[in-house]
Amino acid sequence: MQLGRKLAEGYAVDPEAEESTPPVAEAPAEPRVEVETAVEPVRA
Amino acid sequence: MPWRSARRAPEHSEQPLAGFKLAHPMLSADGSRAGFSGVTVGRGHVYLAVDDAICVQGSRHASPSKWCDCGFYCFHDVASARDLACEPEHRNAVLLEVAASGRYRRYERGLRYSRQRVRSVRVNRCDCGQPATVLVDTGAGSTGWRQLLPTCLACVGARPRLELQAFARLAGHGVTISGEAAPADIELSGAGQVALLHAEMALLQARLDDLQSRLDALTRGGDT
């Protein structure tokens, strides 16, 4: 669908769409990966 | 000289923006929900009467994105959507009137946006030229969804059918649906009537010639 040149950006409110749509579930958080690193003992 | 930014401040509207687009009517496999699939970028994705855009390229960014062509699309005026419907691959699509909202990008001929509410569905005529009154399975679709085709009662045959109003009820959210009116008898000019009569006479003459040749063949066969 060719829409031509971009003119502007914006935000529009539609109360009917807001009321009738169930809340969108948040995306699951990325699994936290814990990496164990070998620590060399330090001799004083 | 002070530096001035060429970037415009974002627009804000307390009302949705009106738009028009083409789509294919879809029915869920269990027959409980009606939706739509796009005819261009989002042809593999089914959306409901009220829905949020997702990136059909599989990315997890908010849609529409500056860096991607995803998002809902619509034209500002109905004539542009009707022009697109002239392309052969879009002949079976339906015309949607939509309310566009959320984040949007406004172009010369239309919008790309994040949230959509379908207001009305206008169904084209059946391939035979009569007004379409039901929807039938095209045999195409995507996982969990069957693509539907507007058809008249005479052309349905034994296929399962879905009434237009039933489709609107399944779509929900107050979606209305209507079809094209029956084709009106066209008033032809004098020259047009002459051309039409010539064409009909040529057709009759061709059929008479065919009948005559068959009769001759039968007569010859009877003589022997």
Quote the pLDDT of residue A23: 44
B90 touches B36 (CB < 8 A): no
Mutate to test the interface with B, among A14, A16, A21 (most CBs of B within 10 A): A14
Quote the pLDDT of residue B171: 97
Interchain CB contact of B85 with A (< 8 Å) = no
**Per-residue pLDDT for chain A (44 aa), expressed as one digit of tens each?**
789 999 999 999 999 988 655 444 444 444 445 555 555 555 54
In terms of Cβ atoms closer than 10 Å to its own Cβ (0-12, 13-18, 19+), residue B106 is: buried
- Taking CB atoms and an 8 Å cutoff, what residues of chain B touch A5? 107-108
- Taking CB atoms and an 8 Å cutoff, what residues of chain A touch B99? 14, 16-17
B106 touches B113 (CB < 8 A): no
Asked if A2 and B51 come within 8 Å (Cβ–Cβ), the reply is no
Please report the ipTM that was assigned to this predicted complex.
Answer: 0.71
User: Which of A8, A16, A21 lies at the smallest CB-CB distance from B106?
Assistant: A8
Return the structure tokens found at B45. 């994705």
**Per-residue pLDDT for chain B (224 aa), expressed as one digit of tens each?**
556 555 678 999 999 999 999 999 999 999 999 999 999 877 789 999 999 999 888 888 988 988 888 999 999 999 999 999 999 999 899 999 999 999 999 999 999 999 999 999 999 999 998 999 999 999 999 999 999 999 999 999 888 999 999 999 999 999 999 987 655 555 556 666 777 677 778 878 888 888 888 888 888 876 65
Helix (H) or strand (E) holding B216: helix B190-223
pTM for the predicted model, two decimal places: 0.73
B118 touches B96 (CB < 8 A): yes
By CA distance, what is B6's nearest residue in A?
Answer: A8
By CA distance, what is B77's nearest residue in A?
Answer: A3
CA angle (B51 as vertex; B170, B172 as ends), nearest 5 = 20
